[in-house]
Copies of this chain bind each other. A is one copy, B any other.
Amino acid sequence: MAKPLLTAPAELDHFDLAILDILQRDNATPQRVIGEAVNLSAPAVQRRIKRMEESGVIQANVAVLDPARLGQPITILVEVEVESERIDLIDAAKKSFAAAPEVQQCYYVTGEADFMLVIIVASMAAYEGLTRRLFFANHNVKRFRTVVVMDRVKASLAIPLI
């Protein structure tokens, strides 16, 4: 009679996967249309979506904007190497990078570098200012390598759902 855990695994069936596949392409798709696509009624679709939102499988529902149209045409990748891998210093670096709005993505990685950042800025001058705040101001940053993106060939967060 024990209640299931709050974060129950809640395995996903093929209906759920089909719904997610639609939502991660266009989450404005009406539930009625989704229902027709997966052979389920609209309320059934709605309940499944709600469950997946509450369980965290669906993390967010967001609009994807065009950076170039918003005056932020430059994408930059940065490999960051730190001086010390002491856990508290690493955590501090993570928080610092994650808190910067210009940092779209931050990965803590194996290999020569320790962090890999994806950054969006309006200009190289803006990037220069950001390096001061993010890297030069952090004494644990040993060095960083800047790579400028010429073409944003593909940029999504979609996950292959088999």
Give the residues from 61 to 75 in chain A that come closer than 8 angstroms, CB to CB, to chain B. Answer: 61-67, 69-70, 72, 75
Distance between A143 CB and nearest chain B CB, rounded to angstroms: 15
* Residues of chain B with a CB closer than 8 A to A89's CB: none
* Residues of chain B with a CB closer than 8 A to A94's CB: 151, 153
Give the residues from 93 to 152 in chain A that come closer than 8 angstroms, CB to CB, to chain B. Answer: 94, 97-98, 101-111, 113, 115-116, 118, 120, 145, 147-152
In the complex, A12 Cα to B158 Cα: how many Å? Answer: 28
Asked if A46 is an interface residue, CB under 8 A from chain B, the answer is no
* Residues of chain B with a CB closer than 8 A to A59's CB: 64-66
Cross-chain contact B153 with A62 (CB below 8 angstroms): no
* Residues of chain B with a CB closer than 8 A to A106's CB: 153-155
Distance between A43 CB and nearest chain B CB, rounded to angstroms: 18
Cross-chain contact A157 with B157 (CB below 8 angstroms): yes
In the complex, A70 Cα to B59 Cα: how many Å? Answer: 12
Closest to A98 in B: B154
Q: A58-B65, A61-B28 are in contact. Are A149 and B109 (CB under 8 A)?
A: yes
Cross-chain contact A157 with B26 (CB below 8 angstroms): no
Distance between A115 CB and nearest chain B CB, rounded to angstroms: 8
In the complex, A147 Cα to B151 Cα: how many Å? Answer: 21
Q: A110-B147, A113-B147, A116-B77 are in contact. Are A27 and B97 (CB under 8 A)?
A: no
In the complex, A70 Cα to B103 Cα: how many Å? Answer: 25
Closest to A145 in B: B111
